Amino acid sequence: MQNFGLESRTHSLGFAGLDPSKIGNKKRRHKMQKNKVELMGFLGGDAVVRTGKNNKQFITLRLATTKSRKNRETGKYVERTQWHNLVVFGKLGEFAAKLKKGTHIEVEGELQYSEYKSVQTASIRVYSILKLDRAEKAAAEDDFDETSAEEEAA
């Protein structure tokens, strides 16, 4: 397991060698921890409706996020795409079930790890979805024409 330099920070906060579950009361411990993920990207496929062990439906989505950087040697931009597994339950799942491939969304949720057949996977349990796609423009014949409306009223 990687350290990420947390030992020195823990020590500076006065928690070195202490069990975090024994520090303060539950309310205070809760404020000291956060598991929050915010992602913005494009869906790689249509929403998939699945049924869990308790016969409750949930939705799975695949979200692509892309980051680009300039290669110092070539001067060209290089893109790196990462794929994220999203899981949506309840009423929000009803909305998520209608999302299609290519939809631009922003999601907020929490990171969850699970293990199945000795393979560990990460997914994000989604708590909010914001659809960022712009509304399609109406066709010319669908536009409201004031002159024809005035003629019909007369």
Residue 39: closest CA among 132, 150, 118, 153: 132
DSSP state of 136: P
Arithmetic mean of pLDDT over the chain: 78
Predicted confidence band at 119 (pLDDT cuts at 50, 70, 90)?
confident
Query: Residue 120: what pLDDT?
Result: 84
- Phi first, then psi, for residue 148 (nearest 5°) are -70, -35
Q: For the whole model, what pTM was predicted?
A: 0.64
> For domain 33-132, which CATH number applies: 3.40.950.10, 3.30.70.100, 2.40.50.140, 3.40.50.620?
2.40.50.140
Could you give the percent of the chain with pLDDT greater than 90?
A: 56
Question: Are the C-beta atoms of residues 105 and 129 closer than 8 Å to each other?
Answer: yes
pLDDT level of residue 40 (50, 70, 90 thresholds): very high
**Which is higher by pLDDT, 23 or 112?**
112
pLDDT at 39 over 50: yes
Name the region of 110 (left: φ>0; alpha: ψ -120 to 50; beta: rest): beta
Cβ-contact 130, 106 below 8 angstroms: yes
Residue spans per domain, the chain = 33-132
Using only C-alpha atoms, the chain has a radius of gyration, in whole angstroms, of: 24
